[in-house]
Amino acid sequence: MSERWCHMSLQLKDLYDKFRDPATIKALAKLIGEEAKKLERPINVMEVCGGHTHTIMKYGLKQLLPESIEFIHGPGCPVCIMPKERIDHAYILAQQPDVILVTLGDMIKVPGSKGSLQDARSKGADVRFVYSPLDALKIAVENPDKTVIFFAIGFETTTPMTAALMDQAIERGLKNLLFHINHVTVPEVMKELIDSRDVHVDSYNNRIDAFIGPSHVSVIAGAKIYEPFPRAYHRPVVVSGFEPVDVMEGVLMLVKQFSEKRCELEVQYRRSVTYEGNLKAQAMINKYFEKRGLFKWRGLGNIPDSALKLRDEYAKFDAEKRYADILPKEEIEDHKLCICGDILRGMAKPTECQVFSTACKPSSPLGSCMVSSEGACAAYYKYGGVM
Q: Rounded CA gap, 245 and 21, in Å?
A: 7
Which amino acid is residue 283, in one-letter code? A
Same domain, 290 and 171: yes
State the DSSP H helix or E strand holding residue 293, giving kind and residue range, or none if neither: none
Please tell me the number of Cα atoms within 13 Å of 181 on its side-chain side.
Answer: 30
15 is a domain residue: no
Q: Rounded CA gap, 387 and 384, in Å?
A: 8
CB 250, CB 51: distance < 8 Å? no
Same domain, 179 and 193: no
Q: What's the chain's length in residues?
A: 387
Domain containing residue 260: CATH number: 3.40.50.11750
Query: Other C-beta atoms within 10 Å of 118: how many?
Result: 14
Same domain, 291 and 231: no
Same domain, 294 and 163: yes
Same domain, 129 and 193: no
Same domain, 72 and 90: no
43 is a domain residue: yes
Same domain, 125 and 245: no
307 is a domain residue: yes
Per-residue exposure over 201-240, b if at least 16 CB sit within 10 Å of its own CB, e if not:
eeeeeebbbbbbbbbbbbbbbbbebbeebbeebebbbbbb
State the DSSP H helix or E strand holding residue 17, giving kind and residue range, or none if neither: helix 2-18
Q: Is the pLDDT of residue 387 over 60?
A: no
**Mapping DSSP to helix (H, G, I), strand (E, B) and coil, where does residue 233 land?**
coil
CB 295, CB 184: distance < 8 Å? yes
DSSP for 329-386? Answer: -S--PPPTT--HHHHHTTSS-GGGSTTBTTTBBTTB-SSHHHHSTT-HHHHHHHHTT-
- Tell me which of 243, 267, 291 is where a domain ends: 267
DSSP for 96-145? Answer: STTEEEEEEGGGTT---SS--HHHHHHTT-EEEEESSTTHHHHHHHH-TT
63 is a domain residue: yes
Same domain, 95 and 175: yes
12 is a domain residue: no
Domain containing residue 113: CATH number: 3.40.50.11740
Residues 163-198 have pLDDT tens digits of 999 999 999 999 999 999 999 999 999 999 998 876
14 is a domain residue: no
List the beta bridge partners of residue 149. Answer: 101, 178
Same domain, 148 and 255: no
Residues 46-79 have pLDDT tens digits of 999 999 999 999 999 999 999 999 999 988 888 8
Same domain, 352 and 310: no
Residues 279-293 have pLDDT tens digits of 999 999 999 999 999
Residues 72-114 have pLDDT tens digits of 998 888 888 999 999 999 999 999 999 999 998 878 888 888 9
Domain containing 372 equals: 340-383
Domain count along the chain: 3
Same domain, 161 and 46: no
Selection from 85, 79, 92 nearest residue 365 by Cα:
79
CB 365, CB 111: distance < 8 Å? yes
**Mapping DSSP to helix (H, G, I), strand (E, B) and coil, where does residue 27 land?**
helix
256 is a domain residue: yes
11 is a domain residue: no
The pLDDT of residue 10 is 47
Q: Is the pLDDT of residue 199 over 70?
A: no
Same domain, 94 and 169: yes
Q: Is the pLDDT of residue 44 over 70?
A: yes
Question: Mean pLDDT, the chain, as a whole number?
Answer: 91
Q: Rounded CA gap, 253 and 236, in Å?
A: 10
Selection from 38, 15, 14, 34 nearest residue 26 by Cα:
34
Residues 339-361 have pLDDT tens digits of 888 888 888 899 999 999 999 98
